[in-house]
Amino acid sequence: MFSLNIMTPSILLLDCSSGLTEKLKRQGFEVASGSIGFCSRIRHLPCQVYEKDIIIYNPSSFASNKDGYIAIGEIQDIAPEYSLTHLQNHILRGATFVTFVNHVAKDVGKQNEAYNWIPFMPEIKFTKDHQPIAIRIDTDYDHDFLAPIISQSNLKIPVLQKIYPPEPNRRVYPKDVVPLFFNLNYEILGVFIKRGEGSLIILPECQSNEEIINIFLHRVIPQMYKLETQINLIDKFSSPEEITTQKEIKKIEDNIKELDEALGAAKEGFTSARLNKIQTIKKDETATLILNYYDLATQQDEKSGDTILNYRDQRGDVVK
């Protein structure tokens, strides 16, 4: 049986930015990063996949040469001692695999090639959907822990890929295959697949995949693995560093509140000043007369322009 490290679930980032890696390390996560090689032409796994609790794959492109997209054989494996062959069993034992179906190639075969090394990965086909739909997740829903990352407002529009996951096993409860995003033709754009003790979470490309990864690690994983109830005792104690940081946060929040109040007052003052200006002008007969003359002159200019255009049309001139 797979056992997640309760205190700090370990993470393997594949083809994610170095900036995200450093950010998560600063936040206290145990993170390693590497590349499958489709983006960089170099496969570099920093460790065995079964040594990490959560694996996240976020490719940005498919490398090419003068003849087109590279072949798998052109990818150089600089760490062959670390193998992907263990990944399927690792997921079945309880690991979580998260991937974003980014538009990495114009050729659908190459698009699939960048993802079909992932165990249980559905087939990908191209689409172009401007109105994706996120599944509604209520509080009593069996997979409500996914709610923080399920919102169509997060998606990059249009969505350019759809997927074809297997049908749910009717003998399994909760459902082992749960669509997360649809198009208006009820084709699936994102899905949660439960396999053994682990799971595969497949999401459409988002406006910021890295932001969704951050939300996933901070808000989904604690609920998914019940970490919040397991670390309550630790939360009762605050370290000196936590106390200092909390004070800084409180100070910044107070400043933001004061600025918001000042901004609101300034906007209210501006609106009031504008209304006073309008009322003052309306009470002044001379100003009102000038405004009326101005409106009349503007209307006459527009009519004169229309007359000139009509005259040119009658002569057969080209009107630009």
Architecture of domain 10-237: 3-Layer(aba) Sandwich (3.40)
Q: Which residue has the higher pLDDT, 178 or 291?
A: 178
pLDDT at 140: 45
CA-based R_g, the chain, Å: 29
Confidence of residue 229 (pLDDT cuts 50, 70, 90): very low
Confidence of residue 126 (pLDDT cuts 50, 70, 90): very high
Residue 62: is its pLDDT beyond 50?
yes
Residue 249: is its pLDDT beyond 50?
yes
Query: Which runs of E-coded beta strand occur in 183-316?
Result: 188-195, 198-204
CA angle 205, 210, 211 (to 5 degrees): 100
- 246 within 8 A of 238, measured Cβ to Cβ: yes
Q: What is the DSSP letter of 171?
A: T
Average confidence (pLDDT) over 93-109: 97
Residue 86: is its pLDDT beyond 90?
yes
Average confidence (pLDDT) over 248-257: 84
The region of weakest confidence among 156-170, 218-232, 241-255 is: 218-232
Q: Which residue has the higher pLDDT, 13 or 236?
A: 13
pLDDT at 284: 81
pLDDT digits (tens, 9 = 90+) for 150-193: 999 999 999 999 999 999 998 888 889 999 999 999 999 999 99
Within 8 A by CB and 6+ apart from 61, the residues are: 38, 39, 104
- 91 within 8 A of 97, measured Cβ to Cβ: yes
Q: How many CB atoms lie within 10 A of CB 275?
A: 10
Average confidence (pLDDT) over 219-238: 67
Confidence of residue 203 (pLDDT cuts 50, 70, 90): very high
Residue 320: is its pLDDT beyond 70?
no
Residue type, position 60, single letter = S
Closest residue by Cα to residue 57 from 201, 233, 188 = 201
The region of weakest confidence among 4-18, 180-194, 297-311 is: 297-311
pLDDT at 118: 98
Residue 275: is its pLDDT beyond 50?
yes
pLDDT at 35: 97
Distance CA 29, CA 113 (A): 30
pLDDT digits (tens, 9 = 90+) for 49-60: 999 999 999 999
Distance CA 153, CA 215 (A): 14
